[in-house]
Each structure stands twice: as C-alpha cells, then as structure tokens.
C-alpha cells in the first residue's frame, strides 16, 4: 500500500515539476529585448538539480488546500531567485563553468552577467506578487539574508570571531535561507497550519545548510560537478574541511596547511593541494558533521502527518548527504 502510494505521489510531483519547467521556459519570453531573453535563458536552460522547486512541490501537499497554480508560481520564484544569485555569484567567484556550460560572466562579461541576474530577480519579484503579501515579505527578507551571507563570505570572520561559527552563519544566509523559504513557500501555498510551518522552517534551514556543506565538500572531492573543482580553495574560501584542518594541532597536518596558504592560481599547485586534501582525515570529519545535521533536520519532520510527502522529505535528508554533484 505504502509503496503504491509513494509511487503515485512521485508521479504527481513529477507532473508538478513539469508545470514548473513550463513556467520557467516562459520567463525569458517576457523580455522585450532578444538579447536579454537569450542571456537569461543561458543558465535556466542549462538545467541544474531544481532542488528548490522539488522542495516546494513536496511541501505543497502538507496543507488542506493544495493548488498547482500557486505551487508552480512559488517554485518559479525561488528558482529564479536562485538563478539570479548564481549570475552574481559566478562574477564574484570568477567561475568559468555553471551547470556544465560556460558561466554567464564568461559568455557575456561581468557587467552583463550582473544585469541579467538583476533582470531575473525582477521577474521573480513580479511573479511573487501574485501569491500575496506574506510571500512578498518572505521573499524580500530572504533576499536580505542571501546578500548578508554573501557579504559575510567575502569579508571573512572579524577579529575575535570564531571562524567556524562565522562560516555556519554565512551558509545559513547564502543557502539556508532560500532553501528554508522554498520549504515554507510550498506549505504556504496549501495553507498549512502554523505549527507545521514552524517545524518546516527549522527543517528547511537545517537541510539547506546540509546542502551547502555537501556542496563545499563536493568542491574538493568530486571531479564531475559541472563546475570548476577547487574553486573555493583557489579563492581561499575556508569551508568546513579547511576550518577543521586549521583547528587541528596534529603536526602531520602542517605540510597541507602550508600548501593551502600558498597562491593556488597555478593549476598544478591547485591539483596537488586538492589531492592531499582528499586524503586527509578532515574529509571524514566533515562528512560526520554533515550527517549529524541531516539527522537534526529529519527529527523536525516528526510532527508531520505520516504519508508520502513526509516520507519523501525524509528521503531528501539521505539524498542531500550522499549526493556527489
């Protein structure tokens, strides 16, 4: 019974996500200018995991009045906001690949990439008005959190501030916030009860942080991400494994610490740093931390009614930990 129910639910969610794709496909058509249409399609059409729309779709079944129309709108809003932030992020990170294609900053130059990011954000802001004031407020506050997280990453920790707690604040802002909002948006489209929204808010923030922690680990461990591996290392962005290494007093960690402090602009130096880091004990330690946080996220699902949506969210906790790209 459960299996058949889960299968039907999966088919239902897939159908919902097809609706979201149709909407995302229509966004560029709203551009009067053919160049803006092309440049804004560049990253949208490259695909991506569509993790945020998936979360909207899953939680859109948790309230008494589900609506495909509202869930599609909410999904488009969070995905467009995410894509907009990627246009900006790739400029700031000087990235050259995104979702397996040339990043927009390389394809069109930094200034255009920033403007197209703004254009996409404007489309998200226009769509969200159709959902009502509560959605508009959450979308606006999420934008502030994204920006604050990104600024925190660029500035680094202040003197006397614990670097690990700074890093956790950064990822809560730059990634946790929009993933939390995706989880909330879905539930809000179906008018879920306040106590469900409260638990989902905590779940979303935690799973969002797990998502970014995994992403940062993948930047080190994977060679098939569709992005340039080692980008964080090269930019000297301290992510969890590096912070664990910094905190280690083991003298055997010294050579790697030295290497990571060097200028890693040279590709061969970067490759050497990556391979040493991949063999380090900090990778396992980072994985343990990620798994503990995924369990904390799972625990928040306990108040949800038993059913296919809850089981699907439970599976998301496993998938976010085990993903490799």
Which residues would be at the binding site for Mg ion (CB under 5 A)? 89, 93
169 lies in the site for ligand FPP, by CB under 6 A: no
Among the residue ranges 42-50, 67-75, 145-153, 240-248, the one whose residues contact ligand FPP (CB under 6 A):
145-153
Least Å distance, CB 294 to ligand FPP, is: 19
Binding mask 182-221 for ligand FPP (x = CB under 6 A): ---------------------------------x---x--
Q: Looking up tokens 């993933």, which residue turns up?
A: 179
Q: What is the three-class DSSP state of 98?
A: strand
- Residue 152's closest CA among 135, 134, 168? 168
When binding is defined by CB under 6 A, the residue of 23, 52, 227, 234 that contacts ligand FPP is: 227
Query: Dihedral sign, CA of 44, 48, 52, 55?
Result: positive
**Given the complex with Mg ion, which of 98 and 180 has the nearer CB atom?**
98
**Given the complex with Mg ion, which of 219 and 300 has the nearer CB atom?**
219
When binding is defined by CB under 6 A, the residue of 174, 180, 234, 293 that contacts ligand FPP is: 174
Least Å distance, CB 87 to ligand FPP, is: 7
Residues in binding contact with ligand FPP, number by CB under 6 A:
18
Q: Which residue blocks in the chain are alpha helix, DSSP H?
A: 2-27, 34-44, 51-59, 68-92, 104-108, 110-128, 133-155, 163-171, 177-189, 194-221, 231-234, 240-247, 254-261, 267-278, 281-299, 308-322
- Residue 324's closest CA among 227, 233, 214, 229? 214
**Number of residues that this document lists for the chain:** 325
Residues 6+ apart with CB under 8 A from 106: 96
- Residue 39's closest CA among 110, 93, 137? 110
Least Å distance, CB 122 to ligand FPP, is: 9
When binding is defined by CB under 6 A, the residue of 147, 296, 299, 303 that contacts ligand FPP is: 147
**Given the complex with Mg ion, which of 93 and 300 has the nearer CB atom?**
93
79 binds, among Mg ion, ligand FPP, none (CB under 5 to 8 A by kind): none
Give dist(CA 259, CA 108) in Å, integer: 34
Q: Which residues pair with 102 in a beta bridge?
A: 97
**Given the complex with Mg ion, which of 154 and 261 has the nearer CB atom?**
154
180 lies in the site for ligand FPP, by CB under 6 A: no
Q: What is the three-class DSSP state of 198?
A: helix
Give dist(CA 35, CA 41) in Å, integer: 10
| Segment 120 to 139, residues that bind ligand FPP, using CB under 6 A | 121
| Segment 76 to 95, residues that bind ligand FPP, using CB under 6 A | 81, 84-85, 88-89, 93, 95
Structure token digits, residue 276 = 């040493």
145 lies in the site for ligand FPP, by CB under 6 A: no
321 binds, among Mg ion, ligand FPP, none (CB under 5 to 8 A by kind): none
Contact footprint for ligand FPP (CB under 6 A): 81, 84-85, 88-89, 93, 95, 117, 121, 143, 146-147, 150, 174-175, 215, 219, 227
């Amino acid at each position: 019974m459960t299996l058949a129910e889960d299968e039907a639910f999966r088919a239902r969610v897939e159908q919902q996500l097809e609706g979201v794709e149709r909407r995302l496909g229509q966004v560029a058509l709203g551009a009067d200018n053919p160049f803006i249409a092309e440049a804004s399609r560049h990253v949208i059409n490259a695909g991506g995991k569509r993790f945020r729309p998936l979360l909207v779709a899953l939680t859109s079944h948790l309230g008494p009045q589900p609506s495909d129309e509202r869930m599609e709108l909410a999904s488009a809003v969070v995905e467009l906001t995410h894509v907009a932030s990627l246009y900006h992020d790739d400029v700031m990170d000087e990235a050259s690949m995104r979702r397996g294609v040339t990043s927009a900053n390389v394809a069109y130059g930094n200034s255009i990439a920033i403007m197209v990011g703004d254009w996409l954000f404007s489309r998200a802001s226009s769509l969200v008005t159709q959902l009502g004031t509560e959605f508009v407020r959450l979308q606006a506050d999420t934008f502030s959190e994204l920006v604050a997280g990104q600024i925190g990453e660029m500035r680094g920790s202040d003197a006397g501030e614990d670097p690990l707690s700074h890093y956790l604040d950064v990822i809560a802002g730059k990634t946790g916030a929009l993933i939390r909002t995706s989880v909330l948006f879905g539930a809000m489209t179906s008018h879920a009860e306040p106590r469900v929204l409260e638990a989902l808010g905590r779940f979303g923030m935690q799973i969002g942080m797990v998502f970014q922690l995994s992403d940062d680990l993948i930047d080190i461990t994977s060679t098939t991400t569709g992005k340039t591996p080692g980008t964080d290392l090269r930019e000297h962005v301290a992510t969890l494994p590096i912070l664990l290494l910094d905190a280690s007093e083991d003298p055997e960690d010294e050579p790697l610490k030295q290497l990571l402090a060097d200028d890693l602009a040279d590709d061969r130096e970067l490759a050497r740093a990556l391979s040493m880091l991949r063999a380090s004990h900090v990778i396992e330690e980072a994985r343990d931390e990620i798994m503990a946080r995924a369990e904390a996220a799972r625990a928040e699902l306990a108040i949800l009614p038993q059913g296919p949506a809850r089981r699907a969210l439970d599976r998301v906790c496993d998938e976010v930990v085990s993903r490799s790209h």
